[in-house]
Amino acid sequence: MTDPSRSNLPPLQLHVPEPRFRPGDAVDYSHLVIPPAGVQPRPDEGCAASETHGLCLDLVRVLGEDHKAVGPWDPKLDPESLRRMLRLMALTRAFDDRMYRGQRQGKTSFYMKCTGEEATSIAPAMALASDDMVFPSYRQQGILIARGYPMVDMINQIYSNKADKLKGRQLPIMYSAKEASFFSISGNLATQYPQAVGWAMASAIKGDTRIAAAWLGEGSTAEGDFHSAMTFAAVYNAPVVFNVVNNQWAISSFSGFAGAERTTFAARAIGYGIAGLRVDGNDPLAVYAATRWAANRARANGGPTLIEHFTYRAEGHSTSDDPGQYRSVQERSEWPLGDPVARLAAHLEALGEWTGEAHAAMDLELAEQVKAAAKAAEANGVLGHGLHHPFRTLFEDVFEELPWHLKEQSEQAIRERRIKWPEWKED
pLDDT at 375 over 80: yes
One domain, residues 314 and 406: no
**pLDDT value, residue 336:** 96
One domain, residues 190 and 259: yes
One domain, residues 267 and 194: yes
Inside any domain, residue 19: no
Catalytic pick among 42, 326, 332, 359: 326
Q: What angle do CA 378, 382, 388 make, to 5 degrees?
A: 105
- Rounded Cα distance between 18 and 22, Å, is 9
Per residue in 90-138, pLDDT (tens digit) is: 999 999 999 999 999 999 999 999 999 999 999 999 999 999 999 999 9
Q: Is 104 marked active-site?
A: no
pLDDT level of residue 7 (50, 70, 90 thresholds)? confident
Q: Is 317 marked active-site?
A: yes
Cα within 13 Å of Cα(425), Cβ side: 1
Inside any domain, residue 33: no
**pLDDT value, residue 351:** 98
pLDDT at 23 over 70: yes
Per residue in 218-253, pLDDT (tens digit) is: 999 999 999 999 999 999 999 999 999 999 998 889
User: SS3 for 140?
Assistant: coil
Q: How many separate domains does the chain show?
A: 2
| Domain coverage including residue 410 | 391-420
Catalytic pick among 61, 210, 268, 317: 317
**pLDDT value, residue 86:** 98
pLDDT level of residue 327 (50, 70, 90 thresholds)? very high
One domain, residues 399 and 297: no
Inside any domain, residue 29: no
Q: Is 29 marked active-site?
A: no
One domain, residues 63 and 198: yes
pLDDT higher at 386 or 357: 357
What end-to-end distance do the CA atoms of the chain give, in Å?
A: 71
Mean local confidence (pLDDT), 397-416: 92
Residues of the chain above pLDDT 90, percent? 90
pTM, full prediction: 0.95
Catalytic pick among 313, 343, 347, 389: 313
Inside any domain, residue 25: no
Q: What CATH number is attached to the domain comprising 146?
A: 3.40.50.970
Instruction: Centre a 10 Å sphere on the Cβ of residue 151 and count the other Cβ atoms it contains.
Output: 23
Inside any domain, residue 1: no
The per-residue DSSP string of 164-194 comes to: -TTTT-S-TT---BGGGTBPPP-SSTTTHHH
pLDDT level of residue 388 (50, 70, 90 thresholds)? confident
Using an 8 Å Cβ cutoff, are 303 and 297 in contact? yes
Q: What angle do CA 31, 306, 275 make, to 5 degrees?
A: 105
Per residue in 185-212, pLDDT (tens digit) is: 999 999 999 999 999 999 999 999 999 9
List the one residue out of 274, 281, 173 whose CA is nearest residue 232.
274
One domain, residues 169 and 314: yes
- Residues contacting residue 332 through CB under 8 Å, at least 6 positions apart: 116, 312, 314, 315
Per residue in 34-92, pLDDT (tens digit) is: 999 999 999 999 999 999 999 999 999 999 999 999 999 999 999 999 999 999 999 99
One domain, residues 299 and 331: yes
One domain, residues 101 and 142: yes
pLDDT level of residue 386 (50, 70, 90 thresholds)? confident
